Structure 1
């Protein structure tokens, strides 16, 4: 057993700068088979770096304080082939209040944020594993290359210089510190 105080867990802001108080609880507990992160979001901050999915993980978010808002894509369909989406999926807005929990299966696009004027505190739990299969992560972002508009992007595993986000359409890369 390992027991910690959340205040003793180091703050590790998201590499894309979308939040400041993000604590990787599973690392502090030496967990291998589940990822647990605690977020304390100021108004305007996000849980992650935009609309994305984990093709290899399901995620559960428990809102402890405040009201969080998610853009949620359609439920993934078993008939869809594995691989990258060709266009940004349509989303609906879902509000999750303190004391409520929301689950996203592998392959469902989502982006959670604090759209309120108050702080939002929440836990994210993802399984299996604490480490991403970075090839199974997909997000939608503006392309910095030849593509016009928002396109599907992949992510290479972060290293000492940050992570590389790349356009699945044209291959343009963006280094994120």
Structure 2
């Protein structure tokens, strides 16, 4: 049995967002667990994406999340949950809450292949994106033209 308090693990903060990866500190083997705090106008995670093998469930602890999907936007209020099956495109956003707090659960823990799409300023549309990670930065590049589509320090 493992217990923890959010904030006892290594966390990352980017663009005012707080991200707490909880799987490792809880020593989970079959489920990924992440906690997010997101200010207004920011997204949960960094891009529109889909996991080919992992399903995800998001529980809104505080605030209101809006999830962009292929079928349109879905609003999830405080105390509600939303599930994405493997292969479903999604990205969560805080459009209005002072501080959105979300617990994300994914199974299996190892997410397998993930497709990512981001707005490319050079191409003028949402294109595939390739991430590169260094010790203190995450940079996304357009999969079509190679232009940088996002840079996050942590």
Distance in 2 (alpha carbons) for counterparts of 1:64 and 1:73: 24
Contact 1:18 1:47 in 2 (8 A): no
- Displacement of 1:155: 3.7
1:9 maps to what in 2?
9
Q: Does residue 20 of structure 1 match 2:9?
A: no
Greater fraction of residues in strand: 2
RMSD value, Cα: 2.4
Tell me how far apart the structure 1 counterparts of residues 82 and 97 of structure 2 sit (CA, whole Å).
Answer: 21
How far does residue 101 in structure 1 lie from its aligned partner after superposition? 0.4
**2:118 is the counterpart of 1:138:** no
Q: Which moved more, 1:53-62 or 1:2-11?
A: 2-11
Contact 1:19/1:47 (8 A) holds in 2: no
In structure 2, runs of 5+ residues without a counterpart are: none
Which residue of the partner structure matches residue 50 of structure 1?
A: 47
Give distance in 2, aligned partners of 1:143 and 1:44.
19
TM-score of the superposed pair, with normalisation by structure 2: 0.82
The count of aligned residue pairs is 151
Structure 1 residue runs without a partner (length 5+): 75-91
